[in-house]
Structure 1
Amino acid sequence: MPEEIISIEHVYFRYPGQDPYVLNDISLSVQKGEWLAIVGHNGSGKSTLAKMLNGLHYPEKGNVTVDQLPLSEETVWEIRKRIGMVFQNPDNQFVGTTVQDDVAFGLENSGVPQEIMAERVKDALERVNMLSFLDQEPHHLSGGQKQRVAVAGIIAIIPKVIILDEATSMLDPKGRQEVLETIRELKDKLGLTVISITHDLEEASRADRMIVLNKGEVFKKGKPIEIFQLEDELVELGLDIPFTIKMTKKLTQLGFNFPNTYITEEELVDALWTLHLNK
């Protein structure tokens, strides 16, 4: 049986002086080692939920448990050692004058000895292919490079869970692909659990499982291929369907006989090539 690392049970949350609830009776679980994408339009509650997982918000009602620790003011600092967050704008995360200073910041705050810190910084930057930028100033980097450095800063503290809170929304397609490929490699090599908070279904298509939020409630749960079958419903929620799903549908209407539905562009290209060879 998969091991549960995060449990959210009947959680309600609203901001002070506001109605209705931003999170309304939310229940879900996250399994150790999986990549879970939580998607929804602006205002669906997904970013509020991400902040709650890191103890930036507390539920008005219900329970949040992270790695068997119930979220409370007494446990929040222990929980934050287990969860690292990568935010939308990498410039807002940089505090060091060089790349290595920035990656070391979280370790310094945790009191990690200097010799161990130096090893962790280099190891983290090597894992995201940014070791050669050790002494560079962060503002000289591209958007994708900045986010990879931000990921390195999280990896260095050795979390069990990484939360990507709209972490690729400000990147160009190349930068987005670089960051997502880096996260996938780190997840597989280090056994990390990844939670991707996004409105971009192209990004969500890389996940093992998806949860769709709407108006603070869980609308649907399932594998990406299952969720994408709800095409019209997703569009009604203000979510755009991935390009590959749209293209597969158009090609099917033109007479292409695909045996499956494809999520990634690579899968679709391989399928087209196979159909060509079998003509």
Structure 2
Amino acid sequence: MGQSIIDVENVTFHYHQEASPALENVSLHVNQGEWLAIVGHNGSGKSTLARILNGLFIPTSGVVRVCGIELSEKTIWDVRKHVGMVFQNPDNQFVGSTVKDDVAFGLENNGIPRDEMINRIESATKKVKMEAFLEHEPHHLSGGQKQRVAIAGVIAVQPDIIILDEATSMLDPQGRSEVIQTVRDLNRQGLLTVISITHDLEEASRADRIIVMNGGKKFAEGTPEEIFMLDEELVKIGLDLPFPFILSKRLREAGVPICKKHLTEEGLVNELWTLQLKI
């Protein structure tokens, strides 16, 4: 992992005059090139934090630095040049009548010259495997395809960071898999630092590091393996453990000699297949 690209120091945020803060004294960092998942149940503060990182909200107190720029009313637009965001409902994100027009929208707003715009549209749609759909109308696409187009629109602007704010929660399993694989590929190619905001621990298990939010505070932080060692503590704060992890646990309790509690279906299937070959 590279050096720190986002630093959050003792951030507190209040909505209007509410007595209790949505975020309270939260500190964290994001390393360049990593995939950080921020998880928590509804109301945990994770989406509020995402909006602060993108400059949609300004903290009530504390400091946020993105690519060395301290977030303030004066620097919001400078921060947003470095951070792209994909939201929960893909249908709410489209502004163009075709995929090409939609990907072009952010480029036009940034005054990108036409020749470069054409090259970026072609490159971005190829990266998310949607280059064959440039003339298609977005509302005719599947949910997973829509989110991949939304991601193309973000990466065409060439930010350093992409935030996925529950970007897979409204998708079917195939669409969710498409989006996660797309983001994983972009991250591994070194094109983007990824921050995934989610309540889905199975999705979070794909990340390099996880931060768990609860009641507006940072509850835990670590690698996926370290976080899932908390086991029932995660359930107590309203999170559902991934099915492969639960099944691994139950199989071990039943006497099946599985070496560890797996975070992904692939890992569990591979070990069960290895055991079958040994029998």
What band does the TM-score fall into relative to the shorter chain?
over 0.9
Structure 2: distance between partners of 1:235 and 1:262: 17
Identity %: 59
Give the SS at the match of 1:230: coil
The answer to whether the 8 Å contact 1:95/1:105 transfers is yes
**Map 1:20-169 → 2, pairs under 5 A:** 20-169=20-169
Tell me the SS of whatever aligns to 2:187.
helix
Partner of 2:172: 172
Paired positions, count: 279
**1: CA distance between counterparts of 2:19 and 2:98?**
44
Measure, in 1, the Cα distance between the counterparts of 2:188 and 2:2.
16
1:138 & 1:41 partners in 2: Cα distance? 31
**2:265 maps to 1:265:** yes
5+ residue gaps, structure 1: none
Amino acid at match of 2:266: E
Listed as ranges, the matches of 1:141-220 within 5 Å are: 141-220=141-220
* Structure 1 equivalent of residue 15 of structure 2: 15
Shift of 1:210: 0.3
Shift of 1:37: 0.4
TM-score (norm 1): 0.98
Q: Confirm or deny: 8 A CA contact 2:38 2:46 kept in the other structure.
A: yes
Find the aligned partners of 1:2 and 1:124 in 2 and give their Cα distance.
24
Distance in 2, matches of 1:25 and 1:13, equals 9
Contact 1:225 1:261 in 2 (8 A): no
User: What is the Cα deviation at residue 263 of structure 1?
Assistant: 1.1
Amino acid corresponding to residue 11 of structure 1 in structure 2: V
Separation in 2, partners of 1:21, 1:146: 34
User: How far is the alpha carbon of 1:159 from its aligned partner?
Assistant: 0.7
Moved more, 261-270 or 43-52: 261-270
- Tell me, in whole angstroms, the C-alpha distance in 1 between the residues paired with 2:123 and 2:19: 46
For residues 128 and 250 of structure 1, what CA distance do their matches in structure 2 show? 37
Using the alignment, how far apart are the partners of 1:133 and 1:88 within structure 2?
22
Aligned-residue offset at 1:191:
3.5
Deviation string, structure 1 residues 177-215 (Cα, Å, up to 9, x no partner): 000000000111134110000011111011000000000
Q: How big is each residue's C-alpha offset from its partner over 1:19-77, in whole Å with a ceiling of 9 and x where there is no partner?
A: 20110000000000010000001001000000001111111110000001000122111
Counterparts of 1:210 and 1:140 in 2: how far apart (Å)?
Answer: 35
Look up the equivalent residue of 1:132 and give its one-letter code.
A
